[in-house]
Structure 1
Amino acid sequence: MADVEIRCDDVKPGMRNSERIAVFSDHTGKKHYIRVEADFLSTIGGVHYLPVGLVQIDRDSGYRLVELPHEAETGANRLWIKPENIRTVESVMS
């Protein structure tokens, strides 16, 4: 089973020390903000990633429709993301 993460453009401090605000872009370049616990994000080579659910892949554009862990500040729950901003992580079943 594969888990999917989207690349964050930036990560800012949250309201509490344990929170972060992940900033990411949809396929149009519009910025979205979502508050999560700091340990919910993964970091690889200084790049932060937000775990999301993969809903659909558009065959023509390659865009991925993803479901966010909860509603973003824009009110969005699902967004189209460019494939270059997606990271697939192979999960290990226990």
Structure 2
Amino acid sequence: MLRQHYALNNQNRIVRLEFRLRYFQLFNRPADEVERQLTFGQIAALRFANDMEFSTLLEKALAFNLSADEIKKSIRDWQPDNMRV
């Protein structure tokens, strides 16, 4: 049980790092300010969106404080994470 908890915490850190990298690749600026405004659930939900939807969903998440579930339901081209622990 403790090992699985450790693995999930590490994976959560990786999800945040992936968000920062993706944001930088798409917008050519650091994600620090945006990341502070989002919950981990919102960040995790955004990773399922393709690059075309990512920016639109990110703007909506920030403007309307969409929940993780609302973000997931808004995704049209779902990109699954088949490697989650």
TM-score range, shorter chain: under 0.3
The structure that is helix-richer by fraction is 2
The structure that is strand-richer by fraction is 1
TM-score by length of 1: 0.26
